[in-house]
């Protein structure tokens, strides 16, 4: 395990994205936020734009970003915000997005994701849908945008993972559940381990001025829970018997959940930092994979050898 000192910041779990970027000037910088039309993605967009960045909201249905685009256009001093089509589960869509990009790219926030699909669902390429959307699509996007990121001179790749990564290492023998029984949470956890390993493998880009870090945003009620049934929501303690959402005190607001994303995306405190995992605006300690600790990263998610093997797997998969 890595004996390096953990990075700390003056922020905590209750800090909002706007507070993290207070005083940060991103004028003239360009950012892409996948899944930026709602939830913590939208709060990430708001904070980056308020700091002056030009932000592209990359989403499957660009029309859903219309209200956010209009809101920020009416707010004085914000950077330009636009929406563009991107379906991470469809490599043709990813390819079209990357080929249409013009100029340097300073910030790429891989925020979009799906969680706990109740049944094994495959994409047209035969990929398990959570792995396809959460990891393989973002790998294809990041590598497809490598040249714009390199041309920035100081670009940052930010990948939104989850504490669920601790439940499942990446299964190189059967990543798409072709032989092992499908489990919604194991599939989700595996995809989130892959997300962290994506940033570890990106150390090969460090000499090009590209840094990459992953994060767990914490517990937040967003559109991510759309595939959970009411029984599961009640078991999690976020829904009462009448069907009303009742988030516990330890749940964050979307603005709080986005704070670690923007910390990694734009705070000067993270200049030059790469290949690390953060929660509540602090770098996370290693914990055993089965630990009940409220925060922490499993060693299997920061393993450089696994990261390199995963990059090779993903490169072969996307062809």
- Residues serving a catalytic function are 188
For residue 283, report the phi and psi dihedrals to the nearest 5 degrees: -70, 140
Q: How many CB atoms lie within 10 A of CB 83?
A: 21
Nearest of 23, 59, 21 to residue 41 by alpha carbon: 59
Pairing mode, strands 54-59 and 155-160: unpaired
Quote the tokens at residue 109.
């926030």
Three-class SS string for the chain?
Answer: CCCCCCCCCCCCCCCCHHHHCCCCCCCCCEEEEECCCCHHHHHHHHHHHHCCCEEEEEECCHHHHHHHHHHHHCCCCCCCEEEEECCCCCHHHHHHHHHHCCCCCCEEEECCCCCCCCCCCECCCCCEHHHHHHHHHHHHHHHHCHHHHHHHCCEEEEEECCHHHHHCCCCCCCCCCCCCCCCHHHHHHHHHHHHHHHHHHHHHHHHHCEEEEEEECCCECCHHHHHCCHHHHHHCCCECCCCCECCCCCCECHHHHCHHHHHHHHCHHHCCCCCCEEECCEECCECCCCCCCCCCECHHHCCHHHHHHHHHHHHHHHC
Distance of CA 39 to the CA centre of its chain: 12
136 contacts 288 by C-beta, under 8 angstroms: no
């Amino acid at each position: 395990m890595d004996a390096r000192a953990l990075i700390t910041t003056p922020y905590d779990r209750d800090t909002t994205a706007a507070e993290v970027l207070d005083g940060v000037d991103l004028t003239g910088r360009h950012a892409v936020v996948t899944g930026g039309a709602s939830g913590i993605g939208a709060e990430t967009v708001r904070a980056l734009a308020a700091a002056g960045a030009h932000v592209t909201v990359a989403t499957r249905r660009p029309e859903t970003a219309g209200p956010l685009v209009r809101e920020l256009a009416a707010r004085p001093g914000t950077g330009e915000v636009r929406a563009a089509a991107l379906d991470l589960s469809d490599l043709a869509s990813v390819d079209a997005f990357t080929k249409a990009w013009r100029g340097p790219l300073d910030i790429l926030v891989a925020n979009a994701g799906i969680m706990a699909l109740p049944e094994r669902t495959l994409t047209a390429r035969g990929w398990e849908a959570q792995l396809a959307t959460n990891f393989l699509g973002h790998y294809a996007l990041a590598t497809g945008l490598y040249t714009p990121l390199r041309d920035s001179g100081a670009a940052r790749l930010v990948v939104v993972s989850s504490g669920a990564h601790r439940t499942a290492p990446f299964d190189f023998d059967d990543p798409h559940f072709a032989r092992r029984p499908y489990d919604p949470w194991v599939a989700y956890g595996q995809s989130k381990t892959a997300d962290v390993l994506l940033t570890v493998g990106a150390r090969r880009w460090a000499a090009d001025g590209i840094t990459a870090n992953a994060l767990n945003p914490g517990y937040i009620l967003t559109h991510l829970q759309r595939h959970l049934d009411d029984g599961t929501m009640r078991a999690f303690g976020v829904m009462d018997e009448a069907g009303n959402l009742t988030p516990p005190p330890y749940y964050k607001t979307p603005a709080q959940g986005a704070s670690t994303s923007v910390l990694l995306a734009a705070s000067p405190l993270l200049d030059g930092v790469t290949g690390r995992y953060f929660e509540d605006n602090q770098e996370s300690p290693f914990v055993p994979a089965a630990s009940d600790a409220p925060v922490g990263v499993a060693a299997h998610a920061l393993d450089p050898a696994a990261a390199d093997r995963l990059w090779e797997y993903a490169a072969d998969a996307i062809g």
